[in-house]
Structure 1
Amino acid sequence: MFGRLKPYLGPVLALALLVAAVWALHAQLAEYNLEEILGTLLSEKDRDIFLAFGLTAVNFIVLAGYDILALAYIKHPLPAYRPVLASFAGNAFSNTIGLSTLAGSSVRYRLYSSWGLTPGEIAKVVVFTTLTLWLGLFSIGGIIFSLRPLPLPGWVHLPFGTTRPLGLLLLAAPVLYLYAAARKETPWRIGKLTLLLPQFRSALLQVAVASLDWALAAAVLYALLPPWANVNFPLVLGAFLLGQIAGLISQVPGGLGVFESCLLFLLTPRIPAPALFAALVAYRVVYYLIPLALAAAILAAREAMAAREHARNIILFLMQWFPVVAPRVLAALTFLAGMVLLISGATPAVHSRLQWLEDFLPLSVLEFSHFVGSLAGLGLLILARGLHKRLDAAYFITACVLFAGIIASLLKGLDYEEALLLTVLLLALLPCHKFFYRKASLLSEGFTRGWVMAILVALATSILLGYMAYGDTTLDSELWWIFTFEDEASRFMRATVGILVVTLIIAALRLMRSAKPRYVPPCEGDIQTVRELVAAAPETPAYLALLRDKSFLVSRARDGFLMYGICGRSWVCMGDPVGPPAARAELAWRFREMVDLYAGWTVFYQAGKENLPLYLDLGLSLIKIGEEARVPLPGFSLAGQARKGLRYTRNMVEKDGAAFEIAPLEAVPALLPELKSVSDTWLAAKHAREKKFSLGFFSEDYLRQTPMALVRKNGRIVAFANIWRGGSANGAPQELSVDLMRYAADAPPSVMEYLYIMLMLWGREQGYQWFNLGMAPFSGLENHALAPAWTRLGALLYSYGGQLYNFQGLRRFKDKFDPVWESKYLASPGGTVPPRVLANIATLVSGGVRGVIAK
């Protein structure tokens, strides 16, 4: 019997609570007539209504953080406008209709499923946003109930008379959640359910964003209360949260009636019931009904457009022009927004608004907001140029400055008109990130005369308007140190000086900025010279010049060269200069002089011991960064007990049906398609991307210039390496090495070790003296107490950095071949420069900052 009735218990209970809430409202309002309530409602001032709308808009922007954090948690990023739209529509429906797991979740499912999320991912998003909602409610409710407890009505029979015990109880949930997120790294398992908590930072953002959401929602109601109401914001916030808790528990759609009853019981001693009820009705319209209507219209338009092929074609046509027009329009609007903020800061605020702010806003907050608003105006004038040039950095900084301007506009004088303008501009800017793709620095882009004149005219106009508004009092030195709500001339003077100082600093930085180095592609004569020098160089690392990802500096006698890359202020020479001693010295000094012209840092990466005195003469500091392994080939063989492991590897691989061969230079072009397939398979299996600068990458032009070592199995290539062949000295070829090594998924185990073994045996037969196994980073560094700090740090990374990279494993692998270890150094300016230089080198090697972060 109970099982049959169970599905009806929830709706029946919600209906009963709704009836009880209506009865309570009737009891509270029985002595008042409808005309009195409507009169109070119609007496709401335009200022209060606009402020409520502005706070509602900000609140829904904050609400988008729920979905953005949820998508980050499930690791399924989407363009920024999509979670904003899903959050707005979902919350607008769930706020009004109630039953958030039904209404809001249905809207989210419709939107997210059309954007490629699976039902399981959407379920995680819904659970995450619901949890965030309750975490925020418990957090801010716990704080406000504990610090500013509300007295409970007399008819509520509980063992305590205020909300403080309830507040302490509510705080327990978010505290435990944050503790679990900070301490629990493995998934929680509850029966068959597996729950992976977000990282502590994400959990902390959940609590902060949701708490701000609830505070803004209460601020909307507070803005709609009559100005003569005998209540402060903490009191309203506490009553609001208590009413929301009751409404959410009741599951009555939108908490209708339950929420109003709670606030009437808690606040009517201080606010007459008609005035409070009128404010609650206005709150329902502003915060619930209008967003619901707007969300419904947006969803209806979206569905209609999705169903109409003709409309899609029109939009596609317009979108062809939109990327061209949008950055220019946004730049112009940003410039205008900057002028609005400057003029607003230079002219008097509305006196009645200042009086209203004076009741609860500290003077220091108003002064700071006015100053920040003026600086934000200057920032927008300058950032407009960056938007016009489609700079990625300008996009992000403009979004932050606009948000700061919105907050400053509201706090410095309740200028909701300009706050609304900035909000609209911010909402228009956010979805347009893809149009701002250039990675240049903001200060690297010059300002044309037109832009400079426009900025100066805007600044002069704001200063002139301020002088006209306040007259000669702006020149009175005594006003500089007057801080009151009424002395707006003082705020104007301080903001003007701040703007001028910041403008002068930016101008000085641009004047003192070093000239940007211009990349000049090497001429064909230099390229041919470099090829000839690479082929003649005894040391094989010279082959890195054939990658064509570096610039060259050729000696005057054309008997030597160096190769370098630029990242930030670091001009990094890869290895030592190539050539005879006189050419190396000439090239090093010319490189040093060239770098000095651009105020850069001269760097030699993986420098050998032979040239260390030269680098010291250049005024550089030396840091050991590892050791290079070189195997003497004349004495290399697989005989003896010490080489038992190498013999086993060769026999095992060949028993598996593999065979080694050398493909001469002329045979390489025909092999490239098959080599490309092996390379792509290797990269996909390693979840890796191509490196650059100090490591080779798959480039057909590069690979055509070297012979190949191949391992075939059943006639198919399963592993390969391109061969670097050093030049001769004293009548004998000197050094042999490999660069790009790749293998297929079905290659025999230890195939790379097999390649090394066979290449060394082949190199010995060809008369080569050395085989270069490359560098082992941080190997051979001393962890002595008296060693330099960077050396000890490198030694610690080598010993304990196994989770970052298997440094010790690499050293042990190369030790199998009994190499001779030679130290390698970083030559660079000293002091605090080396860490930044190493970061720039990592960026060069990884092909960009993204490559440093990703694998």
Structure 2
Amino acid sequence: MAKNKKELPRLKALKLLSTLYRLKIIQILIPLAIIGLIIWEGQAEFRRIDWAATLHILRHIEPSRLLLLIASSLVAVASVGGYEFVLRRHFRLSIRRWTTFRIAWIANSTNSVIGFAGVAGAALRTYLYRNRGLSVPTITACIAFLSTITITGISLLAWGGLGGLFPIDAVIRTHRWTLYAVWAIALYLPGYLLFQRTSFYAKWLNRDLPRMNPSTIAASVIVSVAEWALAGAAFWLIASTLLPDLPFRTTLGIYTVAAAAGLVSLAPGGIGGFDLIALFGLQTLGYAPENTAAALVLYRILYYLIPWLIGLVLGVLEFAQNRQKPAETDSRTVEDSLNGWQRLWEFPGQHAWIAEFGAWALGKLVFLSGAVLLLSAATPGLLGRLEFAEELLSAPLMRLSHQLSLTVGLMLIVLSWGISRRIQRAYPWTLGLLCAGALFTFTKAFDFEEAIFLLFVALLLYLSRARFYRIGAPIPRERLAVWAATTLLIAYVYDIVAAGTVPEFMHRLPDNRYLHLILNPTQHTIAVVTGLGVTWLLLSLALLLRPNKITASSASAEELDRVRGFLNGANGNLLTHMLFAGDKRFFWACDGRVLIPYSIIRNKFVVLGDPLGDPALISGGIQECQRHADLYDLEVVFYQVSPAYLPIYHENGYRFFKLGEEALVNLTTFSLAGKANTNLRTVINRFDREGYRFEVIQPPHDPQALERLRRISDAWLKGRREKGFSLGWFDPAYLQKAPIAVLLAPDGQEIAFATLAPSYDGGRTTSIDLMRHLADTPNGTMDFLFIRLIEWSRDQGYSVFNLGMAPLASVGEARAAMREEKLANRLYEYGGYWYGFKGLRKYKEKFRPAWEPRYLAYPARVSLPVLLVELILLIARRPNKGRRVKVK
């Protein structure tokens, strides 16, 4: 029973954690779970497919037919922009038609590929419309409306399938669960027509805007029907190219069932559910698995991948330009404008990567360029082109081009991350490799399509050259491991594809005439291993010889002397003495008039406390620090900031998390008189009577005395590692900078000590720093030490004594507090098993302090849970090693 009571607090905390985060996780977990189930169900079907034969079929599609299929797919995708034009008319948006179409294409094509539950498309629309001055409520209403109207078209097609207009019986008989999916989609349209007449629907779309009238809803339904019908027609046209005599009505029925299965999975583009049902449906018509798989792959490429590539290009051009800022009259944030139902699914959603979409899109284009080079190298060239290339070039040169294009492809895949992060040095490397890759793929087998694509990406990169301004970026070991694993996985896939396609192609060669131009499986393996080795070698050399890095090593003696001189003319704060611990570096802003102490953990530039200097310069100093950190792709966060500067942090884009409260004793009013202090007086009298003595020793300290105190510290630590950053630690050089209070036993032996930390504010405030005692000291030892310290500080003329932080005290108690702070409150209430949060607060409360809150200031784009973990790691990092943290 006792054990169960002990486990109860942990169970409550875990229950709350689950409640707080499940709505976020559910949007990702549900689609992933459904995709996993679909893949598990269809794994036997996927194994039947000869993927090498599938690639061979795709490689030999006639160019003229391919152009027709691309055009039909782009027309089908373009129809989705009709929603935007309907909303443009309804809300009378002052946006050009081409701009409206461009926004629709970028948002829809991206959402189709990576948009779980519509989040990506909603976030992109929000950002793009805000850049054109649209009010937040209008944007919110547009996206909320789109989230409900787009399914109405497929719902109408589902009714056609259920009514026999499009044959769907064969597919449903094979997989009975698809009938429920079709009915669910079919019932959506009548449900929507009833739902949009309710007050709940009006609340979803915000009541302060024009209500969606019947003409707007009718026009949107027509657009939805056109969208899904054209997508089905494009699917039939693509499939009929590889599946002769494919009936249109039957294909549309298969498409409807497959689309319904894809929609209920909530996955981007219905991936998994759509593909499996479409495969089953087409094979029930008697077509070979390789041909049906080729039709699906081609549909994914033409209807999803190519439009997404076009969307990426448009995104690069869109975000490369300076757009109009949001209207100044609209001070409401996106988050503020959402009602409760919209917040449930986070429409329209604020996502940090949106502001970086242009560079992110360019990085993905570079990644795809590398993938194109690898795919081109893995599949044999066309016979006619091989013959033409051999007439112009020698076979050894063609083989060398093959090897170089493979190596360039691997390097582009790795460099795409640097392009996404806007790294200055990644730009010339990538530009050169794109041009080289275009040359090598051209001389390998006259593959001009790949060469044109690579040169086009190179042109976009060149046009965006001004965006690459960052000197470096943090490259942790995990990132290097991911790069290594990614290149190994891609190389493995390359080897499988190459081994699967080459024998088939060799078998078809007339008289083995061009065998000397084609790599066999062994040669492909050697080529990819060589490419991996060259790629890793070159990138390792680039990292070793990198010219620019930012370090967060121990401060030098010269830097500490400069800090002392600065503090002679500027006030410090409660954390200023920690600057002399030596584990922090200093950023000087505003021509040296603002001091910002920092350390680096992963990609965080963590500032300890508030900046020091003239209050009028603090905001400018923060902005200068942000610009400096951004050059190295670091996020600036401020740890343990005071309430006085919160407006300044807010103006510079920061959010806040309450860390706890600082206990500040007013020495001018402190007294042990009164009934409430009876226990404290009893402690003082007992220790005085038994002969214990309190002393404060001033620096410089005797090395032998410090050695005796070290034994107390080591005994108190019990083998645990010292902490740092915001906490002091036992280091003789550090202890020499401030007085030390010592408690002596009756026999004259030190049994406890506490170091003091002046605040450099003209002698007004002093703080407790390090506190250590032996295990066998009598009860009340630390009470006696604290009381004597407070009295000594008062006698020295100080007016405030800082007892230190009570972590998580008074955090998340309000009903409307942010959910992370509510979770922290649960930890405060029930986390005594791990740390005595409530006990520490209660202990300090006996000295009657005033409590002053302390906050963590962080940018909105930073994940707070991840940041809190990183701060714990930073504080726990071994302080006495002067560890160097490099940002490449």
Both structures adopt the same fold (TM-score exceeding 0.5): no
Higher relative contact order (CA 8 A, sep 6+): 2
Bigger Rg, which one: 1
- Bin for the TM-score computed over the shorter chain: 0.3 to 0.5
